[in-house]
Chains A and B, each alone.
Chain A
Amino acid sequence: MEAQVKTSRLLFSGALALAAAAASLPALAADVNVRLMHVDQNPEIRTYYNDLAQRFESTHPGVKVEILYLENEAYKKKLTTLLQSPDRPNILYSWGGGVMREQIKAGVLEDITPAMNAGNWKDRFLPAGIQAYTVDNRIYGVPFQLSQVGFFYNKDLFAKAGVDAQGIKTWDDLLAAVRKFQAAGITPIIAGGGDKWPLHFYWSHLAIRIGGKPAFDAAVRGEGKGFADETFVRAGELFKQLVDLKPFQPGFLGATFPQSSGQFGDGKGAMVLMLNGMLGSMKANSADKVGIPDEKLGWFAFPTVAGGKGDPSDTLGGLNGWIVTKGSPKEAVEFLRFFSEAQNQRIAAEKGVYLPAIKGTSDAIKRPVLRLLAENVGNAKYHQVYYDQMLGASVGAVVNDVSADLAAGRIKPADAAAAVQQAWKQAN
Chain B
Amino acid sequence: METGQLTARWARFRGPGTQWGARAAVALLFLPPALLLFTVFVALPMGEAAWYSLFNWNGYGTPTQFTGWRNFRLLFETPAFHTALKNNLLVIVVSLVVQLPLALAMALLLAGRLRGTTGFRLVFFLPYILAEIAAGLIWRFVYDGDYGFIAKIWQAFGAAPPFVLAEPDLAMAAILLVVVWKYFGFHMILYIAGLQQISPTLYEAARIDGAGSWQIFRRITLPLLGPTIRLSVFFAIIGSIQLFDIIMALTRGGPSDSTQTMVTFLYSYGVTRMQIGFGSAVGVVLFVICVVFAFGYKRFLMRDD
Asked if B121 is at the interface of the complex by the 8 Å CB criterion, the answer is no
Q: CB distance B60 to A255 under 8 Å?
A: no
Knowing A251-B163, A393-B274, say if A404 contacts B256 (CB, 8 Å).
yes
Which residue, of A106, A253, A401, has the highest number of chain B Cβ atoms within 10 A? A253
- Give the Cβ gap from A176 to chain B, nearest Cβ, in Å: 26
Chain A residues near B171 (CB-CB < 8 A)? 254
Asked if B252 is at the interface of the complex by the 8 Å CB criterion, the answer is yes
Q: CB distance A397 to B273 under 8 Å?
A: yes
Q: CB distance A255 to B275 under 8 Å?
A: no
Asked if A54 is at the interface of the complex by the 8 Å CB criterion, the answer is no
Q: CB distance B275 to A394 under 8 Å?
A: yes
Interface on chain A toward B: helix, strand, loop, or mixed SS? helix
- Give the Cβ gap from B2 to chain A, nearest Cβ, in Å: 42
Q: CB distance B163 to A105 under 8 Å?
A: no
- Give the Cβ gap from A201 to chain B, nearest Cβ, in Å: 17
Asked if A405 is at the interface of the complex by the 8 Å CB criterion, the answer is yes
Alpha-carbon separation in the docked complex, A408 to B268 (Å): 19
Alpha-carbon separation in the docked complex, A68 to B136 (Å): 30
Asked if B21 is at the interface of the complex by the 8 Å CB criterion, the answer is no
Interface flags for B252-268 (1: CB within 8 Å of A; 0: not) read: 10111100000000001
Asked if A280 is at the interface of the complex by the 8 Å CB criterion, the answer is no
The A235-258 residues at the B interface (CB cut-off 8 A) are 250-255
Asked if B95 is at the interface of the complex by the 8 Å CB criterion, the answer is no
Asked if A296 is at the interface of the complex by the 8 Å CB criterion, the answer is no
Q: CB distance B166 to A80 under 8 Å?
A: no
Alpha-carbon separation in the docked complex, A263 to B61 (Å): 44
Chain A residues near B273 (CB-CB < 8 A)? 393-394, 397
Closest Cβ neighbor of B267 among chain A residues: A77
Q: How large is the interface on A (under 10, 10 to 19, 20 to 34, 35 or more residues)?
A: 20 to 34
Alpha-carbon separation in the docked complex, A408 to B254 (Å): 11
Asked if A42 is at the interface of the complex by the 8 Å CB criterion, the answer is no
The B223-262 residues at the A interface (CB cut-off 8 A) are 251-252, 254-257
Asked if B112 is at the interface of the complex by the 8 Å CB criterion, the answer is no
Which residue, of A102, A106, A254, has the highest number of chain B Cβ atoms within 10 A? A254
Asked if B160 is at the interface of the complex by the 8 Å CB criterion, the answer is yes
Chain A residues near B283 (CB-CB < 8 A)? none
Asked if A193 is at the interface of the complex by the 8 Å CB criterion, the answer is yes
Q: CB distance A250 to B256 under 8 Å?
A: no
Knowing A254-B163, A254-B165, say if A408 contacts B58 (CB, 8 Å).
no
Closest Cβ neighbor of B145 among chain A residues: A251
Interface flags for B96-125 (1: CB within 8 Å of A; 0: not) read: 000000000000000000000000000000
Q: CB distance A405 to B256 under 8 Å?
A: yes
Alpha-carbon separation in the docked complex, A187 to B149 (Å): 22
Alpha-carbon separation in the docked complex, A326 to B15 (Å): 62
Chain B residues near A58 (CB-CB < 8 A)? none
Asked if B68 is at the interface of the complex by the 8 Å CB criterion, the answer is no
Interface flags for A83-117 (1: CB within 8 Å of B; 0: not) read: 11000000000000001001101111000000000
Chain B residues near A253 (CB-CB < 8 A)? 163, 166-168, 254-256
Alpha-carbon separation in the docked complex, A99 to B268 (Å): 16
Asked if B204 is at the interface of the complex by the 8 Å CB criterion, the answer is no
Asked if A366 is at the interface of the complex by the 8 Å CB criterion, the answer is no
- Give the Cβ gap from B213 to chain A, nearest Cβ, in Å: 46
- Give the Cβ gap from B53 to chain A, nearest Cβ, in Å: 16
Knowing A250-B160, A253-B166, say if A194 contacts B252 (CB, 8 Å).
yes
Q: List 13 A-B contacts (CB under 8 A).
A: A80-B60, A99-B274, A102-B60, A106-B60, A194-B166, A194-B252, A253-B166, A392-B274, A393-B272, A393-B273, A394-B275, A397-B268, A404-B254
What 4 A-B pairs come out closest when comparing CB atoms? A251-B163, A254-B166, A106-B60, A394-B273
A-binding residues in B (CB < 8 A) = 58-61, 145-146, 160, 163-168, 171, 251-252, 254-257, 268-269, 271-275
B-binding residues in A (CB < 8 A) = 76-77, 80-81, 83-84, 99, 102-103, 105-108, 193-194, 196, 250-255, 263, 268, 392-394, 397, 401, 404-405, 408, 410
